[in-house]
Amino acid sequence: MTKLAYKSNLRMQQGFSLVELAVVLVILGFVIGALMMPLQAQRENTFRQQTENQLEIAKRALIGFAQTNGRLPCPATANDTGVFPDDSGVSNEDANEVCAQQWGFLPAATLGIQPTDSAGFYIDGWGNRIYYAVTQTDVDADAKSDFTTKGGMAKVGISELKPDLRVCRSGLPATGITTTTCSPLPENNYLINNAAAVIYSLGATAGLGIGGDDENENLNAAAGVDTVFVSRGISGSNHPGGEFDHMVVWISPYVLYNAMIQAGQLH
């Protein structure tokens, strides 16, 4: 073997240089990143589809509860609210069926639905608790909510019932949203202005804090005086209402009334 051939074989045996290895690692990084992005998008899509199904199950469970009990359940509240000393996902009302608050978590233990977290609260595809608000109107002024007191809706009558939860397309803070009305946009900003109940997930970024004014609007109901919620498509922080990925559904009073009529709870 010539010296030239020997040196060539030696270089081949020595393998890649550090520069060549660095180039290979960079290329591998791009390839892995390109593969991971679709996988992450698929996972998020799976979680959203799962959550959509769970929200629909929640709606059906709430309507079924009303058909059986003649009322909607109160929201469940957790220990850290200082309202209810039991962190068990149970509908929270006193002996007179007066809700501790109009807004809280979906009472999965009361409704008998899954999946739940270790404390018994219904969770979405991302493992976060699902929220629930129920109208607290009291048309007959008996100090009890018409919709969460057993026989309350039947007592008042369909024509007099006035559920007051509102779901807006967007809060658009520049135009002025209030605790009881949607912002005055040129087009009708109401998706519904008389919902009996609102159920929603905080989406994928629930654990990262509030994304903007529209998301914040969905977390303002704890005091029991804010009856407005927002539902719109997923968007980033460049939207006038800020980042938004909440998933919101509601119960129309007419769907609820029809189901209760069929069950003999309303006439």
The reported pLDDT for the residue numbered 87 is 43
Name the residue with higher pLDDT: 21 or 185. Answer: 21
Is pLDDT above 70 for 2? Answer: no
Q: What is the mean pLDDT of residues 228-249?
A: 85
Q: How many domains does the chain have?
A: 1
Q: Please check the confidence at residue 3 and state whether its pLDDT lies above 60.
A: no
Work out the average pLDDT over 71-95.
Answer: 61
Mean pLDDT of 14-30: 69
Q: What is the pLDDT of residue 144?
A: 85
Q: Which domain holds residue 147?
A: 31-262
Q: Pick the range with the lowest mean pLDDT from 3-12, 55-64, 90-99, 194-203.
A: 3-12
What percentage of the chain has pLDDT greater than the value 70? 72
User: 15-19, 36-40, 245-249 — which one is most confidently predicted on average?
Assistant: 245-249
On the question of pLDDT at 78 being above 80, the answer is: no
Rounded Cα gap, residues 34 and 29, in angstroms: 8
For the chain, what is the mean pLDDT?
79
Q: Does residue 175 belong to any structural domain of this protein?
A: yes
Q: Once rounded to an integer, what is the mean pLDDT over residues 228-236?
A: 86
Report the predicted TM-score, pTM, of the whole model to 2 decimal places.
Answer: 0.79
Nearest Cα neighbor of 68 from 151, 144, 156, 135 is 151
pLDDT, mean of residues 163-183:
71
User: Does some domain include residue 10?
Assistant: no
Report if residue 167 sits inside a domain. yes
Strand partners, 134: 197
How many CB atoms are closer than 10 A to CB 173? 16
pLDDT at 14: 56
Q: What is the pLDDT of residues 201-213, one digit of tens each?
A: 999 887 666 677 7
CA distance 153 to 151: 6
For residue 71, being part of any structural domain is answered with yes
In a domain, 24, yes or no: no
The pLDDT score that the predictor gives to residue 76 is 85
Indicate whether 7 belongs to any domain.
no
pLDDT at 81 (0 to 100)? 39
pLDDT computed for residue 173 by the predictor: 52
Say what the pLDDT of residue 83 is.
36
Q: How many CB atoms lie within 10 A of CB 162?
A: 13
pLDDT surpasses 70 at 59: yes
In a domain, 42, yes or no: yes
Most confident of 35-44, 93-102, 131-140: 131-140
| Within a domain: 64 | yes
Query: Looking at residue 123, what is its pLDDT?
Result: 93
The closest of 109, 72, 53, 69 to 252, measured between CA atoms, is: 72
